Every structure is written in structure tokens, then in C-alpha cells.
Amino acid sequence: MSLGKKKMLHQAAAGGVVNTENFNTALYTGNGSTQSISVGFQPDAIWIKERGGTSNHQFKNSVAGDFAVFPNLTIAESATSILDFESNGFSFTGGDGSINNNNDTYVAWCWKAGGAAVSNTDGDITSSVSANQDAGFSIVKFTGTTETAPTVGHGLSSEPEIYFLKGLDNGTDSWIVSGNSTIFSSPTTNFLRLNTADSVGSTIANQVGSNGNVINVGARNYNGQETIAYCFHSVDGYQKVGSYTGTGVAGLEVTTGFQPRFLMIKRTDSTGDWDLFITTLSEPTYLKANKSDSEATGDRIDVDTTSFTLKDNGGSRNASGGTYIYLAIA
């Protein structure tokens, strides 16, 4: 069952009220020209993927302006001037094969952060931060220095349980995914790469992870280069960063406390793709965040009012004894 545009209120862990105007999923068909897509609020971050073809994922945010990064690639940021943020969603001023090709179908996951970025001096490096504290989401941008293991402020009320970091000027190094002990046994050294199927690594030379009001940048501190990080922590009834152990048997139910409209799963103890489900469909399809593949179909998961249930034993989500992490959003 899809939540659609029903506005459900959730009590945030910090006492604020979070509703679906902080996140939404848009399914649309490209027209190769001008069009507007409504999501119910002005987004600060948009992740778009063509569903029926092999175009790359694109992730654009309001802090970086007219540039996008690509979750499945290591390349540097690239201009995406045809995509604009609007008060009720986003719009296109022309055609683009990756995000608005005529008659192609797309999914766009949209987040509301904190609007215009503000300066944050909590870490060793001053950052520009757009943070939505009630929703547990922030966009962090900073310029690297010569320090070997610096920290950067994230602007949230709790430390991120997971963050996704990419050098905007760097065209060769991978995305780094790190966080705290919610998902990593050794959070100061454990990391994943969003653009690969690799298992957890621990070979980054310097500290990663999160600690209080900062994230640890470690070896991904590129001197003089701009870097972006997307930070998340759990919010009761709205957002969950979690983990589970696979059973290898269909029917494994994972409790989130809400009905997920965004769900990304990654195996950590072995190789496995980043499965990214379009849960607003009556029978969810899924993409792979680390690949440009078109959407895969099949009866893989069910989403319920408080959980998701795995309906197969696919290795990327439910191998017997496998360890998995996930990010779910209502």
C-alpha cells in the first residue's frame, strides 16, 4: 500500500513534529522540454534515476547549486542547469537523457533540509550546512585542508548514524559511506563505498565515522577541494538507520515503526549491491544505487504500516547469516 501524498504526522525523537513534507517520492515521465514536478514542498536534495534505461543516477542539492553528483560513479560534479528547485517541487527547462528524456520514466526521491546553508564552526574545518533537525537530515559542504584527520560540523541535533561523502572536484576516488556504531562494529575505521558492491573496508588511513556534533573526514580530506556529505540519523516514526541479519528464508520482517517510502539496503559482510526500492509502487521494483541498471521487477519485498518484509533470499538483502544495513524513510 502506498502512502501517496497523504500527510501523516510523526512525533520526532527530539520532540518536534515531522510530516511527509520533509520527504517525498515523485514518479514522472520525461517530455524532453519544460515541465514542473510537484512534491508538496521545496526540496533541498533530489536523487533521480531513469527507471527503464541505463542512465546514471543523479543527486543534486541546493547547497552545491547547479551541479550534480553521481552515486554510481567516481567522477567529479557536473553542471545540471536544466533542473531547478521550486517552492512546490522541481522543474526542467529542457531535455536530458538522464533526467528528462521524452517518454522515459523516472523516480525522484526528494528531501527538505534547512534551506539556505549557514556557516558551521563545530569542527576543525568550517562547513556550510543546510540542516533539518526534526527530520534528521543535513547537507554539508566544506573545502578540504592539509590536516590529516579533521572533523566537520553536520548541524544535526544527534550524531549521524550514516553519512555519504564525495569529493566534488575529485574524479577518481569513490564515495565514502560511514557512520557510528548503529551500523558499523568499528566506526572509526569501517566504511563502505556507495559506487561499488564491496563489503565493509577498514583500510582508510585516518579516522572516519561520526562523533557528537561532527563527522570525521579522515583520508577523504582533499586539500583545496570542495566536498559534500549527506548525513542521516534515526527519528522515531519517520526515519530509521538500522541493521539486521539475513535468514536465507522468505518472510523476514524488519520493523521500522512506520511505512517506508524510501528503502535502501546494503550487505556489509560480503559483496552485495545497494538495493534501492521504489516502495510507493503497489509491487515495489528496485534499482541498484551502485549501478546504472534499469529497475528490476519481481516479488521481492512488502511494505507494511510499521515494517518491510523480505520475500526472497537474494544475497544482496537476505542471505543466511549475512549482515545488512538499511536506511528507511516514511
Q: What is the pLDDT of residues 264-319, one digit of tens each?
A: 999 999 999 999 999 999 999 999 999 999 999 999 999 999 999 999 999 999 99
Domain that holds residue 299: 240-329
Do 99 and 135 lie in one domain? The reply is: no
Do 245 and 228 lie in one domain? The reply is: no
φ and ψ of 220, to 5 deg: -95, 35
Res 221 pLDDT > 80: no
Q: In which band, very low, low, confident or very high, does the pLDDT at 222 lie, cut at 50, 70 and 90? A: confident
Q: Per the domain annotation, does 1 fall within a domain? A: no
Among 111, 136, 169, identify where a domain stops: 111
User: How many folded domains does the chain comprise?
Assistant: 3
Q: Does residue 136 contact residue 158 with C-beta atoms inside 8 Å?
A: yes
Do 128 and 45 lie in one domain? The reply is: no
Spell out the residues 6+ positions from residue 170 whose beta carbon is closer than 8 angstroms to its own. Answer: 74, 76, 222, 225
Predicted pLDDT of residue 237: 94
Q: Per the domain annotation, does 284 fall within a domain? A: yes
Do 134 and 205 lie in one domain? The reply is: yes
Q: Give which of 171, 173, 143, 4 is closest to 63, Cα–Cα.
A: 143
pTM, full prediction: 0.93
Integer-rounded Cα radius of gyration of the chain: 18
Q: In which band, very low, low, confident or very high, does the pLDDT at 18 lie, cut at 50, 70 and 90? A: very low
Average pLDDT over residues 221-240: 93
- Of 44-53, 135-144, 211-220, 259-268, which gets the smallest average pLDDT? 211-220
Predicted pLDDT of residue 79: 84
Q: Per the domain annotation, does 249 fall within a domain? A: yes
Q: What pairs with residue 3 in β-bridges?
A: none
Do 198 and 213 lie in one domain? The reply is: yes
Do 153 and 189 lie in one domain? The reply is: yes
Res 236 pLDDT > 50: yes
Q: What pairs with residue 276 in β-bridges?
A: 264, 287
Q: Is the dihedral of CA 187, 216, 262, 304 positive or negative?
A: positive
Q: Does residue 28 contact residue 37 with C-beta atoms inside 8 Å?
A: yes
Q: Is the dihedral of CA 157, 163, 168, 169 positive or negative?
A: positive
Do 98 and 175 lie in one domain? The reply is: no
Do 89 and 55 lie in one domain? The reply is: yes
Do 286 and 319 lie in one domain? The reply is: yes
Query: What's the length of the chain?
Result: 330
Tens digits of residue pLDDT in 153-174? 999 999 999 999 999 998 998 9
Q: In which band, very low, low, confident or very high, does the pLDDT at 2 lie, cut at 50, 70 and 90? A: very low
Do 122 and 209 lie in one domain? The reply is: yes
Among 205, 232, 259, identify where a domain stops: 232
Q: Per the domain annotation, does 170 fall within a domain? A: yes
Predicted pLDDT of residue 10: 38
**Could you tell me if residue 218 is left (phi over 0), alpha (psi between -120 and 50 degrees) or otherwise beta?**
left
Tens digits of residue pLDDT in 43-53? 999 999 999 99
Predicted pLDDT of residue 209: 85
Tens digits of residue pLDDT in 275-287? 999 999 999 999 9
Among 111, 143, 176, identify where a domain stops: 111
Q: Per the domain annotation, does 4 fall within a domain? A: no
Nine-digit cell at 269? 559482510
Do 99 and 177 lie in one domain? The reply is: no
Q: What pairs with residue 17 in β-bridges?
A: 11
Q: Per the domain annotation, does 2 fall within a domain? A: no
